[in-house]
Amino acid sequence: MWILSPVAATLALLVVVSTPAAAAKVEAVGGAIAYGQPDSSSLTSQVEAMVSKADGSGYWMATQTGTVANFGQALHFGDMSGTQLNQPIVGMAATPTGNGYWLVAADGGIFAFGDARFFGSTGHMKLNSPIVGMATSFDNGYWLVAADGGVFAFGAARFYGSMGAVTLNRPIVAMLPSDSGRGYWLLAEDGGIFTFGDAGFFGSGPGKGYGGLFVGMIPVTDGRGYSLVHSDGRISPFGISTLHNDPVCDPWPVTDMSIAGGGAVLLRTAKPQPNDPPSNLSARIDGDYLSELIVLSQSCQTASEPVFPQFSLPLSDPVPTSLFGWRRHPIWGDISMHNGSDFIGPNRTSGGSALAVANGTVLAVLDLVAYGRTVVLDHGDQVASVYAHLGGVNVKVGDVTSVGDALGPVGSTGLSTGVHLHFELRLNGNAKDPIPYLNFPEPPVSAE
């Protein structure tokens, strides 16, 4: 049977059962210092952005509603608490002196504090795409960047070009000025790099075959290289940069980062569970959420393809009712992808309790729109199993389970037409047809 490595078991224990909607934390890399963690219980909205003092002696964080928290030697110069914003805050930048900062909203509205001065905004413009960030390397100007690569220059910041007229494969997520202030880089979500002015090109995520999402970049002092920051905490160097970091098994993705001296402080924020009104998109939304959760939680593991058959059965005597693959949805009637297989017990019974198909650790216990009550087990080697529509749950996050352990009674929670178990097998977050991997005594016959 599949054996969970001690390392995977320990890391899985770090996942919490439930987290505040505004939960956030930081980690320091490359010699940077973490001066404290945000008090998630006191935050009223999601932490959206952060920026460090140039010398790395402190940093600020801003929430979507404009509240600013300060750490280390970074002083608080004001925020937008108690003010109704037209659009949420999406980014911030510090003045070179460290005695002020700007906040920028999704519509390009600018709010200046301390010795930061206002030089203009896009708040009065009709944008093709929302603003996603801002950058500066001097005290008398700044740039704003939109998700479509549009760049807007204000004050002494000069315009060196943009990607606004080009169709991008993935949206822009970050902007970084060159050390001279006479150029800048744009970073796309897939690691694509676009250079303008005196910013040099030293490679990109797609060029090195990197997958996943990227959130920021860290330059070398003389501009002859940079490192790209992945959402799993991995840092990949380019050019003469030597700053790198291995991925961390953590269900919270890195959503922003700030340069601090020769390193960086990474911001991780908890991704809220989907709670959109039920629709024909709910299963896909839940599935994407599970995929990201599993990928991040297992990102420090090494993938290993299971063999046939590898796993025990998810019910004591399972009868398949709907198999993996494209099908007509039993509720919405459209053709959609079914990421697992559905099982009931013999003679149309519920089948009793969902059973762990291998040794593992409980990675998550969720209540999703389409999947209903759901348990996710981490089996190590980037393999996970999912048990959905449960009527109840017998386990909690961090529990170490053995093959055959009862996880909870089969039910009909979520979007379901009747009592059954929806079972998935995921490798590196990707759903696989589970039937070939399950140790049936003889090929199963569907009850459909």
Task: Delineate the domains of the chain, giving CATH numbers in brackets.
Answer: 20-269 (2.130.10.10), 282-437 (2.70.70.10)
User: Per-residue DSSP letters for 370-432?
Assistant: TTEEEEEEE-STTEEEEEEEES-----TT-EE-TT-EEEEBB--SS-SSSBEEEEEEETTEEE
Express each pLDDT in 123-170 by its tens digit: 889 999 999 999 997 889 999 999 999 999 999 999 999 998 899 999
Q: Look at residue 11 in the predicted model and tell me its pLDDT.
A: 34
Express each pLDDT in 190-206 by its tens digit: 999 999 999 999 999 99
Express each pLDDT in 50-72 by its tens digit: 999 989 999 999 999 999 999 99
What pTM does this model have?
0.88
Mean pLDDT of the chain: 91
Distances (CA, A) of 180 to 136, 157, 183, 310: 11, 11, 7, 57
Give CA–CA dist 367/62, Å, rounded: 29
In contact, 283 and 415? CB cutoff 8 Å: yes
Q: What is the DSSP letter of 84?
A: P
Helix %, strand %, coil % for the chain, to 5?
Answer: 10, 40, 55
In contact, 82 and 63? CB cutoff 8 Å: no
* Side-chain half-sphere exposure of 115, counting CA atoms within 13 A: 10
Whether residue 6 has pLDDT greater than 80: no
φ/ψ of 148, rounded to 5, equals -85, 5
User: Per-residue DSSP letters for 273-292?
Assistant: PP-PPP-TTHHHHHHHHHHH
Give CA–CA dist 54/32, Å, rounded: 11
Mean pLDDT of 325-330: 94
What is residue 7's three-state secondary structure? Answer: helix
> Quick one: how many helices (H) and strands (E) in the chain?
2, 30
**Which residue, among 357, 372, 365, has the nearest Cα to 316 in the 3D structure?**
357
Distances (CA, A) of 131 to 93, 149, 151, 248, 335: 14, 9, 9, 29, 36
Distance of CA 16 to the CA centre of its chain: 16
Distances (CA, A) of 203 to 64, 100, 107: 32, 33, 31
Mean pLDDT of 238-264: 92
